Every structure is written in C-alpha cells, then in structure tokens.
Amino acid sequence: MAVQRVLEQRVIGPELYALTFSAPLKLSEGGYEPGQFLHLRVTDSFDFVLRRPLSLCQVHVERNALTVMYRAQGAGTRRLARLRAGDAIDVLGPLGKGFPLHAGDRRALLIGGGIGVPPLVELARHLHAQGSEVVSVIGFQTADQIILREELKAYGQVHLVTDDGTEGVRGRVTDVLTPEQCEGVTRYYACGPTPMLRAVQTVLRERDIPGYLSLEERMGCGIGICVGCVHKVRREGRESYVKTCVEGPVFPAEEVVFS
C-alpha cells in the first residue's frame, strides 16, 4: 500500500471513466492476477470512510501503471472522477483471488456485463498468451455504454449484446450461449451484475462447462476484517458465508449459491 500518482483520467462513456495510476508493485516481476481488485481511497480525509474496490482492467508494464474502470454513479465515485493526472491516490492491492488459468484450456468463454467487463481484458491477454482460444460475450444496456470491445477483439472473437438492440444482438448475454456457441468451450469466466451471473451459472451448468464467477458484494475493508462482503458458498455439502474480498472475488461457479 502506498500513495500513487494518477497518470490519466479518461471519460469512456456516459458516467464511465478509465483511471490510470502508478502501480504499488513492480509489474515486471508479476505479483498480480487478472480478476484481482485495487482498493482505492476516495480522498485523504475521512468524509468517505470506505474505499472503492475496482477490478484490475489493464496492466502497463513499461509505464509500471494500472488501469481500472468505473461508473461514477455515487458520491464517492463522482469524487474519484475529479482526480486528474498528477494527483495523489491511496491504493491498496492488488487484493483478493483472481481468475485461475488452466494451461490445457483450448477454448475459453469470457462473459461480461456492463461495468463487469473490465477484468476480462487482462484475463483475455493472459489466456491468449498461454495459447487458449478466447471468445468473449459482452452485454450492455445500450450502445453508448459499450466499453472495451476493441481491446477484447485483439485476443479473439467478440459477441456484442445490448438490452435494447441499439447495437449487436438484442437481448441478454445468455441468449448468445447456445449449444452451438458453447461447442468446444473448455472453461468459462464471468463478471457482471448478480442476475447475469446467476443466469450464466444456470445455463452453463446445463451445458456441463466448468467456470468461474467474479462476484459483486458491497465491500468494506477489502482485507477480511469487517466481514461485510460475504457471499454464500457450498463446499462439501455445507453452506457458509465467505468473504469475497479475500476468498474471492472470483469463485468456482459450482460452489456459488445465489439466494
């Protein structure tokens, strides 16, 4: 943990921002996983007592910098959006457990919804680098919300879905997950709103494809001391609440319980 420098704040859509800052670790030495998050303090005062967990979107090894993306829809994220290049930012992380990679995977299916798409970019880069074929299915409410399509295209095929049909296929990401589309998929990775994750889990369980879900819970400390961000999992037949900040945010899809 340390105070970092903002390198760039970019508007990428309505209320959507990409924030790039110096990394709190030496990226050329690794030490991070796609799917992990950075826990950002909004200001150096205590007006906002909780940090904002934002998933790692892009790693820039040459600049030793990280990019996160977020929607400024609350007071805290709107304050974050006021940061400019050169400003200081208190960054904790990368924290949590990210997306595990499996070297033998022939074809990986990446599914993202809205502001859940960002962590898939760094994941796609890693999967592509290990020789897995990457197919992305990304969904947004409407055309002007689309982010990261070109970035994902650099690693493989991208299927675009919008709720209102203003671009791509009209509907939900699960509408694209047909048996034909899932042919040959060895594993899936999903990040997005809870209703999407639940639907994806149900559909891909039927297709017998193993995968991972990156969960979204309201988070406090990010290091496992407040026990606020728990989610229910089933392990060895027993259900219990586990902390998404330290045991997640990524979990094997088969153990995640949605109530």
Binding-site residue numbers for FAD are 52-55, 76-77
Segment interacting with other proteins (CB under 8 A) among 11-19, 79-87, 146-154, 228-236: 228-236
Q: Is-contact 140 162, C-beta < 8 A?
A: yes
Does 226 bind other proteins (CB under 8 A)? Our answer is yes
Residue 64 gets the label, from left (phi > 0), alpha (psi -120 to 50) or beta, of left
Does 169 bind other proteins (CB under 8 A)? Our answer is no
Rounded Cα gap, residues 236 and 247, in angstroms: 16
Q: Give the residue with the Cβ less far from other proteins, 41 or 126.
A: 41
Q: Binding to other proteins (CB under 8 A): which residues in 50-69?
A: 50-51
Among 171, 193, 210, 224, binds other proteins (CB under 8 A): 224
Rounded Cα gap, residues 106 and 126, in angstroms: 13
Per-position DSSP letters for 78-134, written without gaps between them? HHHTT--TT-EEEEEEEESB-PPP-TT-SEEEEEEEGGGSHHHHHHHHHHHHTT-EE
Q: Binding to other proteins (CB under 8 A): which residues in 70-99?
A: 76, 90, 92
Q: How far is the CB of 256 from other proteins (least distance, A)?
A: 13
Does 241 bind other proteins (CB under 8 A)? Our answer is yes
Among 3, 11, 49, 129, binds other proteins (CB under 8 A): 49
Residues in the chain: 259
At 138, which helix (H) or strand (E)?
strand 133-140
Does 217 bind other proteins (CB under 8 A)? Our answer is yes
Q: How far is the CB of 217 from other proteins (least distance, A)?
A: 6
- Strand 211-214 with 250-252, pairing: antiparallel
Q: Binding to other proteins (CB under 8 A): which residues in 111-130?
A: none
Does 192 bind other proteins (CB under 8 A)? Our answer is no
34: Cβ–Cβ under 8 A, 6 or more apart, which residues? Answer: 56, 98, 99, 119, 122, 123, 125, 126
Q: Which two tokens stand for residue 169?
A: 């296929």
Rounded Cα gap, residues 81 and 101, in angstroms: 33
Among 111, 135, 221, 253, binds other proteins (CB under 8 A): 221
Segment interacting with other proteins (CB under 8 A) among 42-50, 53-61, 195-203, 206-214: 42-50
Rounded Cα gap, residues 136 and 156, in angstroms: 7
Q: How far is the CB of 150 from other proteins (least distance, A)?
A: 31
Among 81, 163, 223, 255, binds other proteins (CB under 8 A): 223
- Which residues contact other proteins by CB under 8 A? 1, 41, 46-51, 76, 90, 92, 217-221, 223-231, 240-241, 246, 259
